């Protein structure tokens, strides 16, 4: 059951890919929004209507959120430390845990003290693991199987947020997503898009994997639903577009959306894996060759949520400059 509310929402990470899209979605629905930024230099031109965004500074265990939580009904926490911090050094646990764990818990505790009704935390499928076996999918009941500090920090945060719900009135909603794509998305999707646009023939047509993806519009739709749906309280949800793709299918979809031709030729996946390992690109090989599928059935059942955008339309929206076909 949905509550009907237009109450104020605090969104963190508003200058990022997901946060910026979410602010646009919530603003269109008429919700009052407060979107703090780290500094004026980090704003990237972010404004909500005619208002400049307030500066909060770095998000960590010492951040003071008090003045920004006044009259806030819900918090959507998108900000986090992700990716490689310094490629020249081994991964360090402290930055991930200070920002992702301690920073999140500090915000959540202050939010509960300010009588915020609901706290939505954007987690990651990396809590469950990096890949699934053929024919298998991850779901919310699977045990954690993280393999890096990012996934570990997300799981630790989830656990401590759910513990917090036992001693406060604030409700928590956790959303684990696979790769999120959309206009101006970065990371692996951007790399694949550049590869497709280059016109270079790619030896990838023999890959028979399966991966889940999530269009940014679908993620924003689910978040908006979770703000008010009573059945979302204190739950973990998986999310995806509902149509898993192989690597060749994804590349073909990107090419069609970009309006370019794609040249794929066969090469045994084992050979590609050997070559990738020889150049120290094991993680890249896993993403291109391996499977990673999620089951979003719980969101469908408990929230009656269906992704409003299919994969073809989601990819098309990534490249609006191409225009109608």
Predicted local distance difference test score (pLDDT) of residue 78: 96
130 C-beta neighbours (distance < 10 Å), count: 16
Cα torsion 248, 254, 260, 266 to 10°: value is: -10
Would you call 159 helix, strand, or coil by DSSP?
helix
CA dist 267 and 59 (Å) reads 46
CA dist 165 and 182 (Å) reads 33
Catalytic residue status for 150? yes
Sole residue written with tokens 């959507």: 76
DSSP secondary structure of 259-324: T----B----HHHHHHHHHHTT-HHHHHHHHS-B-B--HHHHHHH----SS-HHHHHHTT-GGG--
The token pair at 140 is 């919310």
Q: Which residues contact 321 (CB under 8 A, 6 or more apart)?
A: none
Q: Are 265 and 205 in contact (CB under 8 A)?
A: yes
Q: Are 145 and 197 in contact (CB under 8 A)?
A: no
- By the 10 Å C-beta count (0-12 exposed, 13-18 middle, 19+ buried), 41 is classed as exposed
- Identified catalytic residue from 131, 150, 155, 181: 150
The token pair at 192 is 């694949």
Q: Are 175 and 124 in contact (CB under 8 A)?
A: no
pLDDT 10s digits, 161-179: 999 999 999 999 999 999 9
Predicted local distance difference test score (pLDDT) of residue 96: 84
309 C-beta neighbours (distance < 10 Å), count: 20
- pTM of the predicted structure, to 2 decimals: 0.92
Closest CA to 242 of 214, 204, 283: 214
Predicted local distance difference test score (pLDDT) of residue 41: 62
CA dist 19 and 36 (Å) reads 11
List the chain residues with pLDDT less than 70. 1-6, 40-52, 83-91, 323-325
């Amino acid at each position: 059951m949905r509550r009907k509310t237009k109450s104020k929402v605090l969104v963190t990470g508003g200058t990022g890919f997901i946060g910026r899209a979410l602010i646009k979605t919530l603003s269109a629905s008429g919700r009052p929004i407060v979107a703090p930024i780290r500094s004026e230099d980090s704003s990237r031109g972010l404004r909500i209507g005619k208002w400049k965004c307030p500066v909060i500074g770095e998000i960590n265990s010492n951040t003071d959120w008090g003045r920004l939580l006044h009259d806030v009904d819900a918090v959507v926490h998108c900000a986090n430390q992700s990716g490689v911090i310094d490629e020249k050094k081994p991964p360090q646990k402290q930055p991930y845990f200070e920002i992702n764990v301690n920073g999140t818990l500090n915000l959540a505790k202050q939010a509960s003290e300010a009588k915020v009704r609901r706290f939505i935390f954007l987690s990651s499928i990396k809590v469950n693991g990096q890949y699934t076996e053929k024919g298998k999918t991850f779901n919310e009941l699977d045990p954690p199987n993280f393999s890096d500090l990012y996934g570990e920090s997300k799981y630790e945060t989830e656990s401590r947020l759910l513990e917090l719900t036992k001693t406060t009135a604030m409700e928590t909603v956790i959303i684990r997503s696979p790769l999120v794509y959309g206009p101006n998305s970065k990371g692996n999707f951007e790399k694949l898009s550049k590869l497709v646009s280059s016109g270079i023939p790619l030896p990838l047509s023999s890959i028979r994997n399966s991966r889940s993806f999530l269009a940014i519009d679908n993620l924003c739709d689910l978040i908006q639903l979770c703000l008010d749906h009573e059945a979302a309280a204190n739950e973990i949800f998986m999310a995806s577009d509902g149509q898993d793709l192989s690597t060749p299918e994804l590349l073909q979809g990107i090419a069609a959306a970009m309006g370019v031709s794609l040249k794929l030729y066969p090469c045994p996946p084992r050979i590609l894996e050997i070559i990738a390992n020889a150049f120290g690109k094991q993680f890249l090989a896993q993403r291109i060759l391996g499977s990673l599928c999620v089951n979003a059935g719980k969101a469908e059942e408990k929230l009656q949520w269906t992704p409003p955008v299919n994969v073809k339309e989601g990819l098309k929206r990534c490249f609006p400059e191409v225009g109608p076909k």
